[in-house]
Amino acid sequence: MQTISISDLRTNLLTYLEIAGSGKQVIVTSNGKPLACIAAPEDKKDIAKKQLRALAGTAKIHNVIDPTV
């Protein structure tokens, strides 16, 4: 994670967008206080797949045809 001032962001916007695109977060500050966070968007499809894989590992399969067995 990298912290930069808003004036530095204005000067080097493309550079910081490339950094964010590579997966690193960039925190933008104004007067030393955090103002914004620039980061690459999350791939919701990949996140959902990971969650389903984790859930599948905990699933219990029962006999639905003859539950008395």
What are the structural domain ranges in the chain? 2-58
Place of tokens 């045809």: 65
pLDDT at 64: 72
Give the separation between CA 29 and CA 31, rounded to whole angstroms: 6
Choose which CATH entry (3.30.300.30, 3.90.1150.10, 3.40.1620.10, 3.20.20.105) describes domain 2-58.
3.40.1620.10
Please indicate, yes or no, whether the overall pTM of this predicted structure exceeds 0.75.
no
pLDDT, tens digit (0-9, with 9 covering 90-100), for 21-55: 998 999 999 999 999 999 988 888 988 999 999 98
Cβ-based neighbour number of residue 9 at 10 Å: 19
